[in-house]
């Protein structure tokens, strides 16, 4: 079934390709030329189109990335400004004579009232802490600030060095400032430090987003190792944020609004359509211009050809350029001159021939009667020869080739197989129990069975196969260009078809022997091997296919 569907598919594909080629050949040459020329232009313009689209996409992506990086840089500057503002705010409350005096007196109530509670309630700091000169917490708005006291910028603050920076703690980024507590004139050493910390959370990012006009994104809970492995200052339109030690702690990027993204994409698609449409337009216009020029020149040749065809032998094409059209014009002019000379010579000969025709007409009338009689005799002779030739090579009962014709075909096909080194196989077929069938049901029934088997062979054989009645109830099928395996498949198919014959007297079966020609051997060897395989099939129980193998002989 699968082979049948494959054959149907191949037949359909062959038929479709033939119809397409036939329609293409029937299409006017101008349409074919225009189509081919436009297609060639489009093929030549394809690299330019692809390169233009590639550079357009690259430019748009680069522009979007640069815009994203620029706005992310602005967001980073805003964060740095917030850090500076945080540092100045801390200095406003730490560089103060009263603060230094309260630290020396360990006045916790003063710090709680004027600093910790005040900054927490009015400025919404997440952490406000006062450290002693040794770096230990004196007072804090949060119970656990050990991680904060271990920071280098916090440890440097009691020694008189104030600083601010971004600190990552857990999954939160903090803006932290550490300012020394000292007098307003900086005459005395620092006696402690004031620590302010504010989380860089979503509200903070939203305020930054309002300032730059686009949404600022800082992915939470990002692994610092992954940031460090991918960071090189900026990557993918994002800005990497670092703590004071230079360790990357987060990435900052800008997300464009959906409407802006869709508008950019729509503009890019429009630009692509314009590029493609402009390229196709160029191809079409160039093709039409070339076709117009060609048609203009070809029209001159067509006009001259029509005048020449109407009998104007003096028609010439004036074209002096030494190109293809010039060569065609010179060839046409030479042809027209030769036709003019030939026509004049022909006219002279026509007059002579007309006189001769009048003389020959009478003789023609006499010969016509004799010709009709000879033609009738010739047709009868040809038909008789055809019948004799067909009878010499055809079996009269089955209509297949007879034994003599089979031997001639075998010798010819063996020579051809040796010459071209092609495979050749032979199937010998014998009807099982034919003699008993003949004796039981009579010779007419036996002859009808032979004709049925012969019809199976005739329908199964290809145009170049040789199907013959070898003798009695034995048949032969020569298969050129057929290997032994293919011949076995044919034999099995024949066996099933013969077994399917609807005979009114008894079931029908056949034994088949298959052999393949071995190059260099005699034709009789192939016949002997197929016959040997046939008799082995009959001895093995009949109604089967046996193959001759030289090593088993």
Q: Which residues are catalytic?
A: 473
H or E element, residue 269: helix 258-309
Rounded distance between C-alpha atoms, residue 51 and residue 400, angstroms? 69
In 3D space, the residue among 38, 547, 15, 120 whose CA is nearest the CA of residue 291 turns out to be 38
Q: Hey, CA dihedral for 185, 187, 188, 192, is it positive or negative?
A: positive
Q: Is 242 exposed, middle or buried (0-12, 13-18, 19+ CB in 10 A)?
A: middle
Q: Other CB atoms closer than 10 Å to residue 383's CB: what's the count?
A: 10
The tokens of 62 are what? 């680069």
Spatial neighbors of 143 by CB under 8 A, at least 6 apart, are none
Q: Hey, CA dihedral for 185, 191, 193, 194, is it positive or negative?
A: negative
Distances in whole angstroms, Cα of residue 475 to Cα of each of 212, 451, 478, 511: 97, 11, 10, 11
Rounded distance between C-alpha atoms, residue 252 and residue 234, angstroms? 9
What SS3 class is residue 145?
A: coil
H or E element, residue 471: strand 466-471
| Interior/surface letters 507-535, b for 16+ CB within 10 angstroms, e for the rest | ebebbbbbbbbeeeeebeebbebbbbbbe
Distances in whole angstroms, Cα of residue 439 to Cα of each of 17, 443, 444, 445, 535: 56, 8, 11, 10, 22
Under DSSP, the state recorded for 552 is G
Rounded distance between C-alpha atoms, residue 374 and residue 377, angstroms? 5
What SS3 class is residue 125?
A: coil
Q: Hey, CA dihedral for 468, 473, 474, 477, is it positive or negative?
A: positive
In 3D space, the residue among 518, 516, 517, 514 whose CA is nearest the CA of residue 536 turns out to be 514
Rounded distance between C-alpha atoms, residue 439 and residue 202, angstroms? 108
Instruction: Render 186-246 in DSSP notation, one character per residue.
Output: --S---EEEEEEEE--HHHHHHHHHHHSSEEE--SS--HHHHHHH-SSEETTEEEEE-TTS
């Amino acid at each position: 079934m699968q082979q049948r569907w494959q054959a149907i598919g191949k037949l359909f594909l062959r038929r479709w390709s033939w119809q397409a080629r036939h329609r293409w050949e029937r299409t006017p040459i101008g349409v074919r030329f225009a189509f081919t020329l436009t297609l060639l232009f489009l093929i030549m313009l394809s690299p330019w189109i692809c390169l233009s689209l590639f550079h357009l996409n690259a430019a748009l992506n680069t522009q979007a990335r640069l815009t994203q990086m620029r706005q992310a840089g602005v967001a980073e500057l805003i964060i740095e400004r917030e850090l500076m503002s945080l540092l100045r705010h801390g200095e406003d409350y730490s560089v103060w004579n009263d603060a230094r005096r309260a630290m020396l007196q360990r006045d916790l109530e003063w710090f709680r009232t004027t600093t910790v509670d005040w900054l927490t309630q009015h400025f919404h700091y997440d952490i406000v802490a006062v450290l002693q000169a040794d770096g230990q917490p004196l007072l804090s708005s949060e119970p656990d600030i050990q991680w904060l006291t271990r920071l280098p910028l916090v440890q440097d603050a009691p020694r008189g060095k104030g600083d601010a920076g971004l600190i990552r703690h857990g999954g939160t980024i903090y803006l932290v400032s550490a300012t020394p507590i000292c007098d307003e004139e900086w005459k005395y050493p620092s006696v402690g430090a004031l620590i302010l910390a504010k989380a860089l959370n979503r509200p903070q990012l939203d305020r930054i987003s309002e300032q730059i006009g686009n949404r600022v994104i800082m992915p939470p809970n990002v692994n610092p190792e992954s940031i460090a492995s991918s960071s090189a200052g900026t990557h993918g339109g994002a800005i990497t944020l670092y703590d004071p030690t230079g360790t990357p702690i987060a990435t900052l990027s800008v997300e464009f609004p959906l409407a802006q993204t869709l508008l950019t994409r729509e503009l890019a698609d429009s630009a692509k359509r314009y590029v493609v449409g402009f390229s196709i337009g160029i191809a079409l216009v160039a093709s039409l211009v070339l076709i117009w020029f060609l048609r203009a020149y070809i029209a001159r040749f067509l006009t001259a050809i029509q005048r020449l065809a109407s009998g104007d032998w003096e028609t010439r094409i004036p074209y002096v350029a030494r190109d293809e059209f010039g060569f065609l014009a010179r060839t046409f002019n030479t042809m027209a001159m030769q036709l003019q000379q030939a026509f004049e010579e022909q006219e002279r000969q026509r007059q002579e021939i007309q006189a001769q025709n009048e003389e020959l007409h009478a003789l023609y009338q006499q010969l016509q009667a004799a010709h009709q009689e000879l033609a009738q005799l010739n047709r009868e002779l040809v038909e008789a020869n055809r019948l004799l030739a067909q009878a010499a090579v055809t079996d009269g009962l089955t209509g297949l080739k007879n034994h003599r014709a089979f031997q001639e075909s075998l010798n010819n096909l063996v020579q051809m197989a040796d010459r071209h080194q092609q495979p050749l196989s032979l199937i010998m077929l014998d009807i099982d129990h034919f003699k008993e069938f003949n004796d039981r049901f009579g010779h007419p029934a036996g002859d009808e069975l032979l004709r049925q088997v012969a019809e199976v062979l005739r329908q199964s054989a290809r145009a170049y196969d040789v199907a013959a009645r070898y003798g009695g109830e034995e048949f032969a099928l020569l298969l050129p260009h057929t290997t032994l395996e293919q011949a076995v498949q044919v034999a099995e198919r024949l066996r099933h078809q013969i077994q399917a014959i609807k005979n009114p007297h008894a079931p029908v079966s056949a034994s088949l022997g298959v052999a393949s020609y071995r190059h260099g051997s005699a034709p009789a060897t192939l016949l002997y091997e197929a016959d040997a395989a046939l008799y082995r099939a009959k001895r093995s129980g009949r109604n089967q296919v046996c193959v001759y193998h030289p090593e088993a002989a």
